[in-house]
Each structure stands twice: as C-alpha cells, then as structure tokens.
Structure 1
Amino acid sequence: MSFSALTKPQMRDVLARCLWIHIVGAFIVSLRVAALYKSGVVKPRKKAYVGFYRNYDSMKDLEEMRKAAVFQSAK
C-alpha cells in the first residue's frame, strides 16, 4: 500500500493573512460606499442649493417673515 503524505497546515501568520485580506476588502468597500454617497447625496444636495439660491430674494423673504410676525422686535 502506498500512503501519500498529508501536507502540513500552515500554522504561522494565518491571522495576519486573514486580517490583511479583511483590511483590504474593507478599504475597497468603504471607497465604493463613499463614491455612492457622493453621487447619490452630495451632488443632488449641491444642485438643490444652487437652484434655491439662483432665484432667492432675501429682502422679500424678510418682508414675508415680518408680515407673519416671526420677529418680536421688528415691525
């Protein structure tokens, strides 16, 4: 009978190798999430602010707030 020798399991640096794989994976996932957040939240928010302030008249808004009696000291 012929017995094949079993390969010995690697006992050194197993934790370090697993941690390295997980760190690289977490870095890649975080980059993807940041890119999705930028394209899905930040850019539309900036576009909304630009659209709002394009036609915003602060004096008109102030007069509307005065008429609505929002301010106690200004009449």
Structure 2
Amino acid sequence: MASSALAKPQMRGLLARRLRIHIVAAVFVSLGAAALYKFGVAEPRKKAYADFYRNYDPMKDFEEMRKAGIFQSAK
C-alpha cells in the first residue's frame, strides 16, 4: 500500500537542471550587485571628486602648506 503512494525521484539530468537554475540566478545576483556598486559607490565618488576639483586652486593650497611649514625644501 505505502509503496504505491510514493513517486520515484527523477535522477536523470538532475544536476544539469539544477546548475542551469543556479547559473541564471548567479548572473542576476551579480548584475544586481554590480548595479548597486555603480550607482551606490562609483557615481557618488566621481561626483564628489568633480565637485572638489571644480573650485580647487593648487597654488593656493601649496602656499598654505608652505606657510604652515610642511615643506622643508620650499621656503
């Protein structure tokens, strides 16, 4: 009685089917992580650098550091 109630497990092609599902899932997860990094880290960092260098005066910064005594060779 009990043996007729259980279905036989499908064993042929099981690894190939599971790998196909996992590879597709891994591709979507990696694309999502790459998009999150690009828009969450890389783009704000590029914007911060652009904002900083938009008004940056290297000669003014050099003069301030020279007056503070940071450089030994430039007096």
Aligned to 1:48: 48
Name the % identity. 74
Aligned to 2:73: 73
**In the TM superposition, what are the counterparts of 1:1-75 in structure 2 within 5 Å?**
7-75=7-75
Q: Which amino acid aligns with 1:28?
A: F
Q: Which amino acid aligns with 1:16?
A: A
Deviates more, 1:50-59 or 1:62-71: 62-71
Structure 1 vs Structure 2 CA RMSD? 1.7
**Structure 1 gap ranges (5+):** none
**Structure 2 gap ranges (5+):** none
User: How many residues are paired up?
Assistant: 72
| TM-score of the two chains, using structure 2 as the length reference | 0.82
Q: Distance in 2 between matches of 1:69 and 1:15?
A: 68
Q: Which one has a larger percent helix, Structure 1 or Structure 2?
A: 2
| TM-score of the two chains, using structure 1 as the length reference | 0.82
Q: Distance in 1 between matches of 2:69 and 2:17?
A: 67
